[in-house]
Amino acid sequence: MYKHSIVLLLVLLLGIPAKAQKKLLQSKLVQRFISSKKDSTRSAGFVLLPVLGSAPETGLEFGLAGIYNFYVDKTDPTIRTSSTALQTSFTTKSQFDVKLTTDIWTKKNEWHYLGEIRFRNFPFNFYGLGDQTLDQDKDILRQRLFRIRAEAEKKWLPHYYGGLVALFENYTYQDKEAGGIFDKELLQGKSGGHYIALGISQLYDSRNTNTYTTKGFYARGRYTYSPNLWGGQNFSGSHLDGELRAFFPLTPTLTLGLNSEYQTYFNKAIPFYLTPQLGYDEMMRGYYQGRYRDNNFLAAQAELRWRFHPRLGLAAFAATGTVYPKTPDLTALKGSFGGGLRYFFDLEHNSSIRVDYGVGEKRPGEKRQTGLYLSLGEAF
């Protein structure tokens, strides 16, 4: 969830007298976060995390991230958890990133709605296109982004959903320093652009839960088409992406999860800002998002999850993937591995705070690529 910040979570009880500590720990609010028993009322759950960080290109960064989990109908024992998540990040150099997402399941899971609104004015590192970019070519760009996305899927058969997708995005860019790789490379859409995408989605979902899955399968595909409404270097063409997930309970507390993702565009001229990027807090953990990017993306991962206590768990993961222009070179796949800690702040909805440390490749003459992530919810 946090791709650009150093995130610090501080819980302080020092300095509180012993009696006050005991009373605090016995309060309903605190028991909601430490008790091993579920809330029998099936009530909603909510958590907030602080975002704190500092970098030369941003100055001091601060903000909040939170998620609200709930049931649309608490009387329906089969209904899945719905959620609304908000991420906010602001800097002392007048930069910001605000993102609101929703994931809604209606009664009997008959309808599934997904939505997103995002406003972003923030710097990021651009290294060029391809899977062999160099750290020394890092070029800092300032991106302005507005996105609005809406998806609706209806259950047509048991476990099978079909629906519609609508997306609008607008990008603009500013190069912080002229003469870098951003200037030198021949890129489509250097100044930015905008497009509308309309399409369909198909989903097969037999997971036992959509928050902390221990058994079942998930397969989702989306195809969208963007008409040539604005001309110039604005994107027009098609996009296809798919994801597979499988979960196998090895013991009552140990689960093996498998996951793969694929993305491709159908157009000879694809704006650089739409090219899929390898590395983020859910897939290929350990790589800076955008270090490697190209027209196509293919990756797979496995994660072993051990929930040794209702409130606590551990995970170990390994992944492999690549980005490529036309045909993937499976002999040049990049690797990633790592582990993490899980704290389940909401037992009713099996919602977790996830801390992961991922390790990527070490290129000649460069430091090994790594990443530390503090996120809300499981990676997949």
108-150, pLDDT tens digit by residue?
999 999 999 999 999 999 999 999 999 999 999 999 999 999 9
First to last CA, the chain: 13
pLDDT of residue 14: 52
Residue owning tokens 């609706």: 152
Provide the domain limits for residue 169: 18-35+43-376
pLDDT at residue 40, rounded to an integer: 73
Pairing relationship of beta strands 139-157 and 192-205 according to DSSP bridges:
unpaired
Is 2 within the bounds of a domain?
no
Per-residue model confidence (pLDDT) at position 330? 87
Distances (CA, A) of 289 to 8, 169, 208, 266, 326: 20, 19, 31, 23, 21
Beta-ladder partners of 113:
104, 152
Among candidate residues 120, 122, 117, 119, the one with its CA nearest the CA of residue 102: 117
* 0.95 surpassed by pTM: no
User: What count of other Cβ atoms lies within 10 Å of the Cβ of residue 77?
Assistant: 8
The Cα 281–Cα 295 span in angstroms is 21
Task: Establish if 3 belongs to a structural domain.
Answer: no
**In-domain check, residue 108:** yes
Measure the CA–CA gap between 351 and 373, rounded to whole angstroms. 17
**Residue 11 domain-assigned?**
no
CA atoms within 13 A on the CB side of 60: 3
Cα distance between residue 247 and residue 304, in whole Å:
10
- Residue 310 is classified by DSSP as T
C-alpha–C-alpha distance, residues 159 and 104, integer Å: 16
Q: With beta carbons less than 8 A apart as the criterion, state whether 3 and 278 touch.
A: no
Q: What are φ and ψ of residue 4, in 5° steps?
A: -130, 0
Instruction: Tell me the CATH number at 206.
Output: 2.40.160.50
Question: Is position 1 within any domain?
Answer: no
* β-bridge pairing 292-293 and 296-309: unpaired
Residue 11: predicted pLDDT? 42
The answer as to whether 196 is a domain residue is: yes
CA dist., res. 152 & res. 273, Å (int): 26
pLDDT at 33: 66
Predicted pLDDT of residue 55: 85
Q: Strand ranges (DSSP E) for 139-236?
A: 139-157, 160-175, 192-205, 216-226
Q: How many domains does the chain have?
A: 1
**56 located within any domain:** yes
Angle (CA) 143-144-150 rounded to 5° is 120
Flag residues of the chain having pLDDT under 50. Answer: 1-13
Per the domain annotation, does 156 fall within a domain? yes
> How confident is the model over 276-331, as pLDDT tens digits?
999 999 999 999 999 999 999 999 999 999 999 999 999 999 999 999 998 888 88
